[in-house]
Amino acid sequence: MKTHIELAHEIWRTHVDEGDTVIDATCGNGYDTRILAELTPSGHVFACDIQPEAIKKTKEQLKEFSHITYLERCHSSLPRVTPSLIVYNLGYLPGGDKSKTTMTKTTLKSLDSAIAVLKPGGMISITIYPGHPEGAKEADAILSYIKRLDDWNCELHEPSERPTAPKLLLLRQKI
């Protein structure tokens, strides 16, 4: 069985075209940003993170790509572009300070913004980590939030039966 990350990357590959604009709203250590950059050689990637350490690590790992714009900002403040894909990998920075996590309030605000700017037919990919207190609160809030999205197909992938295991949520606009 595929992990939530492997599944996300596989789905992105079928959704993204090489000239697309995409946003990594929480770039962390840059692993998802790398996949997005490889998928969009003639497009553009916006890599956002509120932590300067995350932006620095991502830049260092992705020096070979010239089509990435790095934005040190909260994911609730998305760039003013029209992307075909917006990616969230919530929680804390792996290898970083675990007390610094994405927060429910800013994540919900960011999802409102994402829905408003996404290209018609676009997709939002959210990796949820309910294994820590804020992550559990965030997961509950996101799952409640999507119940009111009439014009969206929402797919929740739970590769493990453990309630605290990471989950992949895909939101696709109905066209």
Chain segment 99-128, per-residue pLDDT in tens: 889 999 999 999 999 999 999 999 999 999
Alpha carbon distance 126, 86 (integer Å): 8
Query: Hey, which residues does 24 pair with through a beta bridge?
Result: 47, 87
174 in Cβ contact with 152 (< 8 Å): yes
Chain segment 51-60, per-residue pLDDT in tens: 999 999 999 9
Q: Is the pLDDT of residue 134 over 90?
A: yes
Residues 6+ apart with CB under 8 A from 21: 40, 43, 44, 45, 46, 81, 82, 83, 84, 119
Strands (E), the chain: 21-24, 44-49, 68-72, 85-89, 123-128, 152-157, 167-173
Q: Residue 77, Cα to own-chain centre: how many angstroms? A: 13
Which percentage of the chain shows pLDDT scores above 70?
100
Class of domain 4-173: alpha beta
14: number of Cβ within 10 Å: 7
